């Protein structure tokens, strides 16, 4: 076999990088998106499920999973502090493809009704925390807390307009999100299955969200440790005997 | 050949059934078990105000539904229900929902033996033809649907708007509301995320697997990289914080999602209509037979007229089918035969034999009642006084199948006899 020049070797290496990147991207979109749909599900899907308790609590806790495992692999094996951002970017890619092509162009739900929860700021915080500390423990504690605390504020920027109040012609006070939920019919989603604003995680006053966010932060740290070990298990090389 | 004839017969039967009446069945309503359709929610007087609307034009779906008193054990009680209708997604929008004069935006509750006068205000949106039927979702039990009709949304919906006015006077189009913020904010963070990923993958990265633990850490993650990361982290937090604060400034008055619910009030009787809870006629089932080959339900009922006017049995509603006495309603498609015919005097008790015979039993798959784990029929009797004011009376009881050919419940054959099987 002819020896490759340095330039040819570099080009080949780059092509290999791209193949790895595309394969990792595709695999992560599939796996993480399915995980998100099966766990966070409706809370992340519909505008009228994005409340101040369940959505704020469940989304960070359930979505820190794949980033934690990816962070272990990418940091431990490659010193790449992009595990969380990579997972979240792939997830958002899959989500938007789904919401635009399936839920808008096929089923005619307006895109503002099915906008997913943004997690890029949370992911960047988690990645940089790992890079700066080099410690999974600190990343779980402080990164996990930051991951959860950044979630609601970073989404409120686009969500706030849908919490303007309107008086429905038939009488009740509704937010625009509630009204869209009523009008844009989902025949397999009766209102009573909407798990929003319920539960014992209550507040002493008007501010519900900080309570939910801090609680999510604590649990996210625990889930991070668990899935970090999952990443360790998955990353473990297995050698097959020659004989 | 045999399969071809059967298929052709099925198609012809379907075409006849669809064309003979206004109601069309297109959503698997007939596949629900007969006892569910007969003894849970009974929809009646269903009316579609229009068969054709333009995008943005309203139509009303009105009617009543009854919650059967002897609710089947197999289904959760209707303590928590949601009034809805079935269309393919948001092709038509639900603008209003009322039950017994109360708006039902969220879920509500019903009582057994109740009648509920509902109205759904529906707006056409996406061009197309849709099968629209009322539906009640029961928490723990699932959907129970009424009969449907095809409604066409005719026209160009590319400029469709769906406006709402907020309590502070802003008018927004819900189709596109907030899209500018969504696109702008998401684009910003997508660029930031791509930047962070690009910063690391723009240099060869697969080789790093072989470098970890071999080369100094600074070659993999340099102080410059850490600085970039720290700046990015601080910028992220600042941008989010600024975004949050400015958003609160732009939208100072917001409310959380509304989850309150109200209980639907009772339907009050009027001169023209008396719901079951206020009915003065009582009907006790004596016996019932379903003759399978004859496609006929025969009932023997003991009816007591507790009102001060003569009452005549003029109709039987079950599983969204309405059988009526042609003596009172000459145009009725589904007929019942009542013997003895004529009204029951006030205070009198009469034993009536009712024959409801039609191929519709088989087409609607109601004949499969005999295979249900709960072989009891149920339905609503309609009693009319001389002025055609109506009372709704529930009836239901065990039904015995008969497989003897030829005879309907009342006609010829002599195979079926009314008997007092239970008190």
- pLDDT tens-digit profile, chain B (423 residues): 444 555 555 555 555 444 443 344 556 677 788 888 899 999 999 999 999 999 999 999 999 999 999 898 888 999 999 999 999 899 999 999 999 999 999 999 999 999 999 999 999 999 999 999 999 999 988 899 898 899 999 999 999 999 999 999 999 999 999 999 999 999 999 999 999 999 999 999 999 999 999 999 999 999 999 999 999 999 999 999 999 999 999 999 999 999 888 888 999 999 999 999 999 999 999 989 888 877 889 999 999 999 999 999 999 999 988 999 999 999 999 999 999 999 999 999 999 999 998 888 888 888 777 777 778 899 999 999 999 999 999 999 988 888 876 555 555 444 444 433 322
Taking the Cβ of residue A191 and every Cβ of chain B, the question of whether any pair is shorter than 8 Å is answered with yes
A120 interaction partners in chain B (CB closer than 8 Å): 189-190, 192-193
Supply the pLDDT for residue B418. 42
Q: What would the pLDDT profile of B83-111 be if each residue is shown by its tens digit? A: 999 998 999 999 999 999 999 999 999 99
Q: Mind listing the pLDDT tens digit for each residue in A130-177?
A: 999 999 999 999 999 999 999 999 999 999 999 999 999 988 999 999
In angstroms, rounded to a whole number, what is the distance separating the alpha carbons of residues B114 and B380? 12
- Compute the C-alpha angle B183/B189/B195, nearest 5°: 130
Taking the CA atoms of B285, B287, B292 and B293 in sequence, report the sign of the dihedral they define: negative
**Pick from A118, A172, A191: CB nearest B189:** A118
Shortest distance, CA B31 to any CA of chain A (angstroms): 17
CB atoms A157 and B185 under 8 Å: yes
Cα first-last separation, chain A: 28
Which residues in chain B are closer than 8 Å to A92, comparing Cβ atoms? 190, 193
Contacts of A174 in chain B (CB under 8 A): 105, 258
Give me the domains of chain A, ranges plus CATH numbers. 11-158+225-233 (1.20.1450.10)
pLDDT at residue A199, as a whole number: 77
- For residue B28, what pLDDT is reported? 67
Q: What is the pLDDT of residue B294?
A: 77
Q: Which residue of B has its CA nearest to A10?
A: B204
- ipTM for the complex shown: 0.95
Residue B26 has a pLDDT of 59
Chain B segment 280-299 residues within 8 A of A by beta carbon are: none
Q: Is A118 on the interface with B (CB under 8 A)?
A: yes
Q: Choose among A109, A120, A190: nearest Cβ to B193.
A: A120
Determine whether the interchain pair A172/B103 forms a contact, defined as Cβ–Cβ distance below 8 Å: yes
Q: Which residues of chain A have pLDDT under 50?
A: none
Query: Can you tell me the distance from the alpha carbon of A58 to that of A40, in angstroms, rounded to the nearest whole number?
Result: 7
Q: Do A152 and A23 touch, CB atoms closer than 8 A?
A: no
Is A81 in the B-facing interface, judged by CB distances under 8 Å?
A: yes
Quote the pLDDT of residue B315: 96
Residues 228-287 of B with CB under 8 A from A: 229-230, 232-233, 236-237, 239-241, 243-244, 247-248, 250-251, 253-260
Query: Would you give the end-to-end CA distance of chain B in angstroms?
Result: 51
Q: What is the pTM of this model?
A: 0.87
Q: Which of B330, B182, B400 is nearest to A158 (CA)?
A: B182
Q: What is the pLDDT of residue B27?
A: 61
- Residue A204 pLDDT: 62
Q: Considering only CB atoms, which chain B residues are within 8 Å of A164?
A: 166-168, 170, 172, 251, 253-255
Nearest CA in chain A to B108: A192
Q: What is the mean pLDDT of chain B?
A: 88
Maximal C-alpha separation, chain B: 104
**CB distance B289 to B419 below 8 Å:** no
A42 Rama sector, left if φ>0, alpha if ψ -120 to 50, beta otherwise: alpha
């Amino acid at each position: 076999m002819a020896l490759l020049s340095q330039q040819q070797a570099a080009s080949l290496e780059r092509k290999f990088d791209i193949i790895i990147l595309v394969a990792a991207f595709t695999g992560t979109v599939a796996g993480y998106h399915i995980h998100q749909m099966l766990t966070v599900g409706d809370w992340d899907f519909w505008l009228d499920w994005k409340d101040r308790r369940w959505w704020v609590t469940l989304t960070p806790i359930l979505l820190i999973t794949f980033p934690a495992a990816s962070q272990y692999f990418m940091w431990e094996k490659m010193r790449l502090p992009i595990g969380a951002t990579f997972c979240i970017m792939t997830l958002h890619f899959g989500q938007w493809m789904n919401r635009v092509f399936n839920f808008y162009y096929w089923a005619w739900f307006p895109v503002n009704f099915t906008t997913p929860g943004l997690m890029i700021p949370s992911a960047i915080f988690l990645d940089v925390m790992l890079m700066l500390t080099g410690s999974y423990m600190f990343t779980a504690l402080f990164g996990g807390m930051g991951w959860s605390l950044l979630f609601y504020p970073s989404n409120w920027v686009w969500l706030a307009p849908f919490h303007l109040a309107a008086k429905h012609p038939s009488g009740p006070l509704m937010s625009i999100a509630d009204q869209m939920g009523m009008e844009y019919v989902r025949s397999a989603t009766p209102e009573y299955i909407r798990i929003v604003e319920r539960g014992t995680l209550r507040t002493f006053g008007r501010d519900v969200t900080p309570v939910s966010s801090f609680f999510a932060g604590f649990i996210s740290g625990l889930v991070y440790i668990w899935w970090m070990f999952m990443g360790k298990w998955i990353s473990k090389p297995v050698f097959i005997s020659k004989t | 050949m045999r399969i071809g004839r059967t298929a052709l017969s099925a198609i012809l039967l379907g075409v006849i059934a669809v064309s003979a009446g206004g109601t069309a069945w297109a959503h698997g309503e007939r596949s629900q078990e007969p006892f569910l359709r007969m003894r849970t929610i009974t929809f009646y007087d269903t009316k579609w105000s229009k068969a054709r609307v333009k995008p943005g034009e309203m139509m009303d779906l009105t009617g009543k539904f009854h919650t059967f008193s002897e609710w089947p054990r197999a289904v959760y009680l209707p303590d928590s229900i949601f009034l809805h209708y079935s269309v393919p997604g948001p092709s038509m929008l639900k603008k209003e929902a009322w039950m017994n004069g109360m708006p039902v935006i969220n879920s509500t509750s019903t009582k057994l033996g109740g009648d509920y006068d509902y109205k759904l205000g529906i707006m056409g949106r996406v061009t197309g033809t849709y099968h629209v039927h009322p539906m009640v979702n029961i928490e723990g039990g699932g959907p129970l649907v009424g009969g449907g009709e095809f409604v066409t949304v005719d026209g160009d919906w590319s400029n469709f708007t769906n406006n709402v006015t907020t309590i502070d006077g802003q008018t927004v189009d819900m189709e596109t509301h907030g899209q500018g913020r969504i696109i702008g904010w998401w684009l910003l963070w997508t660029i930031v995320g791509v930047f962070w990923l690009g910063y690391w993958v723009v240099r060869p990265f697969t080789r790093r697997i072989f470098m970890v633990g071999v080369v100094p850490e600074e070659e993999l993650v340099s102080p410059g990289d850490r600085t970039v990361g720290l700046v990015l982290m601080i910028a992220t937090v600042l941008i989010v914080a600024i975004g949050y604060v400015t958003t609160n400034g732009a939208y100072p008055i917001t409310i959380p999602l509304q989850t309150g619910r109200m209980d639907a009030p009772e339907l009050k009787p009027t001169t023209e209509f008396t719901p079951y809870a206020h009915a003065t006629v009582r009907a006790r089932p004596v016996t019932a037979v379903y003759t399978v080959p004859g496609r006929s339900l025969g009932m023997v009922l003991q009816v007591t007229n507790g009102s001060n006017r003569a009452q005549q049995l003029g109709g039987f509603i079950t599983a969204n089918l309405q059988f009526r006495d042609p003596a009172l309603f000459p145009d009725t498609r589904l007929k019942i035969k009542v013997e003895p015919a004529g009204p029951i005097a006030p205070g009198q008790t009469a034993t009536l034999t009712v024959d409801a015979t039609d191929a519709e039993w088989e087409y609607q798959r109601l004949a499969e009642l005999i295979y249900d784990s709960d072989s009891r029929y149920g339905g609503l009797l309609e009693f009319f006084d001389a002025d055609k004011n109506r009372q709704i009376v529930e009836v239901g009881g065990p039904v015995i199948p008969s497989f003897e050919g030829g005879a309907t419940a009342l006609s010829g054959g002599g195979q079926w006899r009314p008997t007092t099987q239970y008190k």
